[in-house]
Structure 1
Amino acid sequence: MASATASWLSPPTRTELIENLVSGVDRYNPSNVGILEDYLYHQIRSQEYDCLANLAILKLYQFNPDLFNPDVVINILLKALTSTPFPDFNLCVSLLDERLVNPNLDEPDPLPTILPLLTNLHHFLQQCRFPAFWAFYHSDDLESLRENYTVECVGFEDAIREVVAQAVKATFTRIDSGRLGSYIDLSGSDVEEFASKQGWSLDASTGIFAIPPNPDNQVESVVVQENIKLPQLVKVVSHSVQVK
């Protein structure tokens, strides 16, 4: 957990320039928004992720509504989805509550339409309703999102599958291949290939994958033993007598 937190605060792929923009006094300088937006699109293309840098963009939009770019916001939210169950998505949305729409946009703002759809996807992930996530993701309602945004976000679907894998590792010691396939939206040999990369072994006779033990999927009884010394017991009894 400590390693994950450190990586979240300062990803190893973050450059010194971005570090200075995120952590330094220039964080609220609107002239730097272009640099941060370019960095976001680098994340989109390279499968990297830097939540704090993306939050800095949204904060600049809050203070400078004329800079607002809905396409940037949607891409930030897509990247945040891939960090579930961490609270990145909600952190991003919280900075949009009081946003002002940029009146200088050449086209209608797509965010009011797409934000509820992204929120639904996030709810499915948070609730571990993975088949429902994929069904909704592939639905006609999200055709515009897929064709205009996720298609540009390299590795988006694989990143979601990694979210699923983390949940499966924390919950199961054994899982049927059909069930796993419905969770990760894959079938046949693709399921086996995915599970193999996770280090899960398949029993071909039963079609069940075995998931190695880890601190989250092991149920262990905890014995709590309290040692009370005689002088302490005397004080307790004495106090109870005085109360009476």
Structure 2
Amino acid sequence: MASVASNWVSPPTRTPLIENLVSGVDRYNPSNVGILEDYLYHQTRSQEYDCLANLAILKLYQFNPDLYNPDVVINILIKALTSAPFPDFNLCISLLDDRAANTNPDEPDPLPSLLPTLTMLYNLLQQCRFPAFWALYRSDEVESLRDNYTVECAGFEDAVRDVVIRAVKAAFTRIGRERLGTYLDLTGSDLDIHVAKLGWSIDSSTGVVTVPPNPDNRIESTVVQENIQLPQLTKVITHASQTA
């Protein structure tokens, strides 16, 4: 867990320039927003992720409304979406202003219409309702998000599957192949290949997938032993007799 927190604070892929912008006083310099936006687009192309750098963009937008770029905000939310079960998405939402009333009819802001959908998708991931997530994501209702945004985010669907795998590893030692397929939105050989990459095994006769032991899915009894010294016991008995 410590390594996860360390990578969240300072991802190994973060360059010294971005580290200086995120950690130093230049974090609030509006002239640096272009550098941070370029870094975000690098993240979408390379499957990297840096939450603190993206939060810095949203904070600059908050302080400097004239810098606001809805496409950037949507891409930030898409990247944060696949950080579940971590709260990155909600951290981003907390830095957004209410812009629905400020929509320019000549250049409509896509964020107000997409934000409810993004929030619903995030909630489904948080609740581990994975088949419902995929059903909504594949629906006509989300066509605009898919065609204009997630298609540009390299590895988005696999990043969602990583969220699923983290949940499955924490909750199961064995799971049915078909059930796992609905969680991952994969069937047939695609599912078998994905399971093989994880190092999991499938029993061909029963269709049961075995999830290797890990600290989260081990069922172990815990024995708690308390040692009470005689002087401590004497104090307890004495106090009880005095208050009786």
Same fold (TM over 0.5): yes
Give 1:186 shift. Answer: 0.6
The corresponding residue for 2:51 is: 51
1:21 is matched with which residue? 21
Match of 2:88 in 1: 88
Give SS of 2:107's match. coil
**TM-score with structure 1 setting the length:** 0.97
Distance 1:47 1:83 in 2: 12
TM-aligned CA deviation for residue 68 of structure 1 = 0.5
Mapped contact 1:200–1:210 kept (Cα < 8 A): yes
Distance 1:81-1:75 versus aligned 2 partners, 3 A rule: same
CA deviation digits over 1:145-177, x for unaligned, max 9?
A: 000000100000000001101101001111111
* Aligned-partner SS, 1:60: helix
Verify: 1:34 aligned to 2:37, yes or no.
Answer: no
Q: Judging changes above 3 Å, is the alpha-carbon distance between structure 1 residues 200 and 123 closer, same or farther for their aligned structure 2 residues? A: same
Kindly state the Cα deviation for residue 243 of structure 1 after the two structures are TM-superposed.
2.1
Deviation string 1:74-101 (CA, Å, 9 cap, x unpaired) is 0000000111100000000010145697
Counterpart position of 1:139 = 139
Aligned letter for 1:190? D
1:95 is matched by which residue type in structure 2?
Answer: L
Regions of 4+ moved over 3 Å = 97-106
Spell out, residue by residue over 1:48-94, the C-alpha distance to the aligned partner (whole angstroms, 9 max, x if none): 00000000000000000010101000000000011110000000001
For the residue of structure 1 that corresponds to 2:143, the secondary structure is helix
Equivalent AA in structure 2 for residue 9 of structure 1: V
The TM-score with structure 2 as length reference comes to 0.97
Percent identity between matched residues is 74
- Alpha-carbon distance change, 226 to 129 in structure 1, aligned in 2, over 3 angstroms: same
* Residue 23 (structure 1) shift: 0.2
The 1:103–1:97 alpha-carbon spacing in structure 2 relative to 1, beyond 3 Å, is closer
SS at match of 1:84: coil
Q: Shift of the alpha carbon at 1:130?
A: 0.2
Residue 196 of structure 1 corresponds to which residue in structure 2?
196
In the alignment, structure 1 residue 234 sits paired with structure 2 residue 228: no
Q: Does 2:126 align with 1:126?
A: yes
Aligned-residue Cα RMSD (Å) equals 1.5
Q: Distance in 2 between matches of 1:169 and 1:236?
A: 45
Partners of 2:19 and 2:223 in 1: CA distance: 46
- Does residue 233 of structure 2 align to residue 206 of structure 1? no
Show the counterpart of 1:176: 176
Higher mean C-alpha displacement, 234-243 vs 153-162: 234-243
**In the superposition, relative to structure 1, how do residues 106 and 32 fare at CA in structure 2: closer, same or farther (>3 Å)?**
farther
Greater CA deviation, 215-224 or 135-144? 215-224
Cα shift readout 1:11-56 (whole Å, capped 9, x = no counterpart)? 0000000000000000000000000000000000000000000000
